Structure 1
Amino acid sequence: MGEHKRIGILTSGGDCAGLNPVIRAVVRRAVRGYNWEVLGICRSTLGLMADPPEVLHLAVDDIDRLLTMGGTILGTTNKGDPFAFPMPDGSLRDRSEDIIAGYHKLGLDALIGIGGDGSLAILRRICQQGNLNLVGIPKTIDNDVAITERSIGFDTAVNIATEALDRLHFTAASHNRVMILEVMGRDAGHIALNAGIAGGANIILIPEIPYSLDNVCAKIRERQAKGKHFCVVIISEAVCDQEGELIQYTDRFGQCRFGGVGEYLAEKIAVATGAETRVTVLGHIQRGGIPSPLDRLVASAFGVAAVDLIANEQYDKVVTWQNRQVVPIPISEAIGQYGAVNPQGTLIKTARGLSICLGD
């Protein structure tokens, strides 16, 4: 079995389907494969900042239910930079050393961090500062971690968006409407592109390909001329308006959020074509629900591989999915690139080959 270890695991950034299956896989492999102890860190780095640290002792008998459970039993956060952490008095404080101290208080031999490129960059900086052992697992519904073909949560999000398109087709046809589905995608259009092709959208708009309202309306008129008086559109929340500006709003916490491009486009289309338009904003529904079989498979493979990396003392690595297998690479490579949609890639060529309008 080798040396006994105590490892920690945390989930960071936005939640998504597939996080709990990763936790399950890590516990099963670590406990049954190596007879190690696994501590779940609650609320990401906030749990390590707490004194005493907030943890769950994870046993095999407690985690089988996690395979089909959405979200994360450990909780997560995507607020508060540990290097400039907001304090109650309004000041900002570097709390990275508190996180390092929490790691040592728990007697951890290694930490598994599940996050996107931003979360992994912060975790890596802290672990390098404290000489802590870190292994990363990529998760994001946006699938924008460049070096991996798949991130946990992406497939489930695409499935949900595709189902929404399937349902919108019927009401669009019944009422001769233009139905617009606005989906998530902070900077990348992977969800819109994948779901749009799979769900038979007539128009797909993503931030990587600038669009013209004239081209969009021309597609709608073309369908009208053929007697098809309905149209289904999917648009990423990060698509800009015609002036090239992002459509954002400020929430009650003072943070800028994407949202509203669907309504913007609907109004423009209605004026230009006379078509009756309706908008559905899928929002956080894409993050929730039961993980898809593919997300469960990738999550399980990533969890097992991460534990095996620790067993072999291969730290500062992130597990990736490449050519149908798990490939560990340095975290610095994973966070050093951004995985936007390739405008000359296979799926873009597929969409064009299917006569789907991309707005350009």
Structure 2
Amino acid sequence: MKPIKTLGVLTSGGDCAGLNAAIRAVALHARQTYGLRVLGILDGTLGLMDRPLRYRELHAEICDGRLLREGGTVLGTTNRGDPFHYPMPDGSYLDRSPDFAEGVRELGLDALIVIGGDGSMRIVSRLCAVAGIGMVGIPKTIDNDVHGTEYAVGFSTAVNVVVDALDRLQPTAASHHRVMVLETMGRDAGHIALNGGIAGGADVILIPELPYTLDGVARRIREVLAQGRSHALVVVAEGVRTEQGRPVTDQLSGRYGGIGQYLVDEIAQRTGVETRATILGHVQRGGTPSARDRILASSFGVRAVELAAEGRFGSMVAWQDRGVVEVPMSMVTVGARAVAADDPLIQTARGLGVYVGEA
């Protein structure tokens, strides 16, 4: 195997807390342990497809502790446009994978570390195959829906944001005798809502994976009020559909959002209790990364460099059984990892009396 001299790293897909910690770990370990040149590719795959090429060399001075603490990504990212069917200004579509491959060659990259979710892994692994370059993946997503890993970078911080929001909503709900509905991110999977709802003491948690009835939601709220409590907390993932199975999206953009207000109207009608909605949205992506996300990202970054140095490409680092392992990319690029019907946390929620849908 040809020794690696120049290593590329990029972030792709939606941003989240902990990305900079992973970038820092990759740069530090690659430079200090293996003496590699590390190039950070700007704005995901666009940095290699655009001309002139857009990148920055990751020297030691930008890898200090400040980077560990910063949210977002200093390299920038993108989650728009399929490089194999890329929309052009004139309305046509172009396969830009040759541009990516040429960019790899121009920079002299010997390997690429990609920090992304399952969609990014799938697309960039195909691009790397066209370019003939080895790739190692690092899982990141606030949704925690990447197959093969128990945790992805960004999830812990996002859950902490949900819990903090519930901690703030509970006193005002109690003060005004209201039901507070908190809408979280979670388009295809309900990991954020489920974890955050349990930790934040929610009475109802609705996730895309489990069917529910509005009567069931209202019944649980009435039970809570009958026990002498003056308020209730409801957590719902944005990807939850109406009781009839219709997606709730913005009519203009087609983006998910609005299930919280839908529940507000239905709960108020069925219970007679004043009900309000709070939509967290992109607040869950930002902010200082949690300690867990910093540790996870650092561990992933170090191991990813080691896999690249060993030539173990076509793989992703993952967290399993309290440690970092290697999983094949074929296990990862199969779509979103949903909450399983027998997930222990569902049983935990039900054991606490939380309504999480129909059994």
Q: TM-score, normalised by structure 1?
A: 0.97
What is the 5 A alignment of 1:333-348?
A: 333-336=331-334, 338-348=336-346
Partner of 2:47: 47
Match of residue 35 from structure 2: 35
- Aligned 1:225-236 pairs, distance under 5 A: 225-236=226-237
Query: Residue 73 of structure 1 aligns to a residue in which SS?
Result: coil
1:174, distance to aligned residue in structure 2 (A): 0.6
1:323 pairs, out of 296, 321, 324, with 321
Distance 1:99 1:256 in 2: 30
- Give the SS at the match of 1:128: helix
Task: Tell me the equivalent position of 2:155.
Answer: 154
Letter of the aligned partner of 2:263 in structure 1? Answer: L
Aligned equivalents of 2:185 and 2:59: distance in 1?
Answer: 35
1:330, distance to aligned residue in structure 2 (A): 1.2
SS at match of 1:40: strand
* Partner SS, residue 256 of structure 1: coil
Give a deviation string over 1:268-327, Cα, whole Å, max 9, x none. 111111100010000000000000000000000000001001111111111010001111
Equivalence map 1:306-317=2 (5 Å): 306-317=304-315
**Distance in structure 1 (CA, Å) of the matches to 2:190 and 2:124:** 26
Instruction: Check conservation: 2:145, 2:337, Cα contact below 8 A.
Output: yes
Q: 2:295 aligns with which of 292, 297, 321?
A: 297
CA contact (8 A) 1:48 1:103 kept: yes
1:139 paired to 2:140? yes
Q: Partner residue of 1:57?
A: 57
Cα distance in 2, alignment partners of residues 224 and 317 from structure 1: 51
Q: Which runs of 5+ in 1 are unaligned?
A: none
What residue identity is the alignment partner of 1:334?
V
SS at match of 1:70: coil
Within 5 A, what are the aligned runs for 1:10-159?
10-64=10-64, 65-159=66-160
Distance 1:297 1:226 in 2: 42
**Maintained 8 Å contact 1:4/1:34:** no
Query: Residue type matched to 1:300 in 2?
Result: S
| Contact residue 213 and residue 359 of structure 1 kept, 8 A | no
CA gap 1:93/1:8 in 2 versus in 1, 3 angstroms: same
1:112 alignment partner, SS class: strand
Distance in 1 separating the partners of 2:249 and 2:23:
34
Output the amino acid matched with 1:11.
T
Give the conservation status (yes or no) of the 8 Å contact 2:189–2:338: yes
Q: Which moved more, 1:327-336 or 1:196-205?
A: 327-336
Q: How many equivalent pairs are there?
A: 356
Name the CA distance, whole Å, in 2 between partners of 1:68 and 1:194.
Answer: 24
Aligned-partner SS, 1:51: coil
Measure, in 1, the Cα distance between the counterparts of 2:357 and 2:223. Answer: 14
Question: 1:57 corresponds to which letter in structure 2?
Answer: E
Q: Find runs of 4+ consecutive structure 1 residues off by over 2 angstroms.
A: none
> Is 1:262 equivalent to 2:260 in the alignment?
yes
The Cα of 1:22 is off from its aligned counterpart by 0.4
In 2, distance between residues paired with 1:222 and 1:153? Answer: 35
The one-letter code of the counterpart of 1:266 is V
**C-alpha separation in 2, matches of 1:140 and 1:323:** 19
